[in-house]
Structure 1
Amino acid sequence: MSHADAIETRINQLKAGSIPRHIGIIMDGNGRWATLRGLARLKGHRAGVEAVDRVLETVMALGVDYLTVYAFSTENWKRPTAEVRGLMALLVEYLDAKLDKLMANGVCLKAIGDKAGLPEKVQASLKRVEEKTKANTGLYFNIALNYGGRQEIVRAARALAEEVQAGSRSLEEITEESLADKLYTAGQPDPDFIIRSSGEFRISNFMLWQMAYAELWLTDTLWPDFSADDLLDAIADYQKRNRRFGGIDAKGKV
């Protein structure tokens, strides 16, 4: 049996169980991957893009509805200027190169984060791809860019405060649901499953509100090496878990 056939068999087996509706991924380890090989860090980011493609293909085959990848945080601006410029150029290159494939697979791409803070060329590419794919109803693919979970919550709180100040909303009408409606992911289900690569044990300001009840899966694998097998291993582990959301299951387990 070829590796491709083995992957297809695993996917079909997993589809018989519970598949996360929304997966979030903290893609980490590109720089270390490159350094270990004596390469420039940007080479690691380019290899990381290939890992994104592998994951996209696999989640679509699994029937996942939403995928959110953490591509560039509000803190990543602290990196060397040349690396940031390279990352932004790589993003534009990716969007231009993959648009036809996104359309062919019915993928709806959306950037979440402070897009106004991104370079104009990046904003233009994002606007073009978002507009072109907005009617697609296959996989909803969020790319978190210039994104920070705390910043997102503050932005939502300010929006609600402005409505209270204007008299269009009362204090009593501020609820978890109304705040969620002001987040970048408004209208989307919260992630069921969060994956982090590279062996780090932290959330790094990613989807702080939305991940309240998400299952976590951490791996030592550096992101450029993350494979379809790694994703399927993660899903298999997810399917073994008993998600009780603070309650008890049918057997009385807490």
Structure 2
Amino acid sequence: MWSLMRSPAPGRRLTLRWCLNLGICEVTVYAFSIENFKRSKEEVDGLMELARQKFTRLLEEKNKLQKHEVCIRVIGDLSLLPEDIQKLIAHAVLETKAYSKCFLNVCFAYTSRHEISNAVREVAWGVQEGLLEPRDVSENLLGQCLYTSNSPDPDLLIRTSGEVRLSDFLLWQTSHACLVFQSVLWPEYTFWNLCEAVLRYQYNYSVIQKSRELYSKERSRLQNDTDDTWVQMNIHRLEFRDEEEKSKVFQRLMFQCRTERENRTQNFLKELEKKRECFLQSLCTH
């Protein structure tokens, strides 16, 4: 997966074609930050009108999307947008959700801090509804509640225009990505600029993979520690004939703990996905 910050439509389409030619099948673009709502009314209205045109065009070109099996995902808080744009986005997402050849993720009405806060609210909803227990809450579960839960974490993030900051873009997801900052502006962005970024990723590939593996092991260790604590709390209430019996009970409780947590988590994620899809369906029917 490859991420891209703030690109105008013409450059974006061309760059997406280059990505496909290079075998990059998933791209995320930063189209509109929640912070942009702080701009003047005239500027915000202009950006919203541009969004109307772009999403309308996407729907008009749905045959092309079907031909190339392009799945459109819009990442952000749609409730912050005008109702007609919400409806256009919902139609575009639902029309293409079954396609799986390539994926275009559009961050719209998005900031990473807002996304993480929303993930916390989703988990709190799961606990409140009885789908989860408080001890089920983990870093891994929060990650599965992000807007990008259906996508792998980005391998490469490109920031153009000479800015050396992420502007609240995919902060959680890019913790183990290759970050490339390029001074070129989008109107002048070329295939060779893209190749330079890809080569930097390839050069750093082994270091990135090692970092991800160490992180995965540490996350597994923390989850094991949580499970172990729960088992120890429960096993102390029991009496045993000998250490062998205690060891067998410990293993049984550990298996029970992990199985029940996994079942609760999967059930919660299914309900969360259903809730999100119902929201999109409701926009299409109103």
Q: Does 1:216 align with 2:182?
A: no
Residue 49 in structure 1 maps to residue 28 in structure 2: no
Any conservation in 1 of the 2:27–2:103 contact (CA below 8 Å)? yes
CA distance in 1, matches of 2:130, 2:99: 37
Give the conservation status (yes or no) of the 8 Å contact 2:58–2:92: no
1:29-79 CA distances to partner (integer Å, 9 max, x unpaired)?
xxxxxxxxxxxxxxxxxxx21011011111111221321101001101111
Q: Secondary structure at the match of 1:212?
A: coil
User: Higher relative contact order by CA 8 Å / sep ≥ 6: 1 or 2?
Assistant: 1
* 1:54–1:228 Cα contact (<8 Å) kept: no
Q: For residue 8 of structure 1, what is the aligned residue in structure 2?
A: none
State the alpha-carbon separation in 1 of the partners of residues 16 and 212 from structure 2.
31
Higher helix content, 1 or 2: 2
Distance, in Å, in 1 between the alignment partners of 2:130 and 2:88 is 38
Q: CA deviation at 1:196?
A: 0.5
2-structure distance, mates of 1:171, 1:102: 42
Mapped partners of 1:130, 1:71: distance in 2: 16
Q: Which has the larger radius of gyration?
A: 2
Quick check: 1:51–1:227 contact (8 Å CA) kept in 2? no
Alpha carbons of 1:205 and 1:135: their partners in 2 closer, same or farther (altered >3 Å)? Answer: same
Range moving further from structure 2, 99-108 or 228-237: 99-108
* 1:232 alignment partner, SS class: helix
Equivalent residue number for residue 89 of structure 2 = 126
Q: How many residues align?
A: 208
* Correspondence for 1:88: 48
Match of 2:23 in 1: 63
| 8 A Cα contact 1:194 1:215, kept in partner | yes
- Compute the RMSD of aligned alpha carbons: 1.7
Q: How does 1:3-14 map to 2 (within 5 A)?
A: none
Contact 1:163 1:169 (C-alpha < 8 Å) held by counterparts: yes
**SS of structure 2 residue aligned to 1:127:** helix
Which structure 2 residue ranges, 5 or more long, are not aligned?
A: 215-286
Mind listing any 5+ residue stretches in structure 1 that lack a counterpart?
A: 1-21, 29-47, 249-254
Alpha-carbon distance in 2 for matches of 1:223, 1:211: 22
Counterpart for residue 74 of structure 1 = 34
What's the TM-score, normalizing by structure 1?
0.77
Displacement of 1:188: 1.4
Q: Residue 222 of structure 1: CA displacement? A: 1.4
Match of 2:4 in 1: 25
1:99-248 residue pairs with structure 2 within 5 A?
99=59, 100=61, 101-241=64-204, 242=206, 243=208, 244-245=210-211
Tell me what 1:43 maps to: none
SS in structure 2 at match of 1:103: helix
What amino acid is the match of 2:2?
I
Inter-CA distance 54–167: structure 2 relative to 1 (3 Å threshold): same
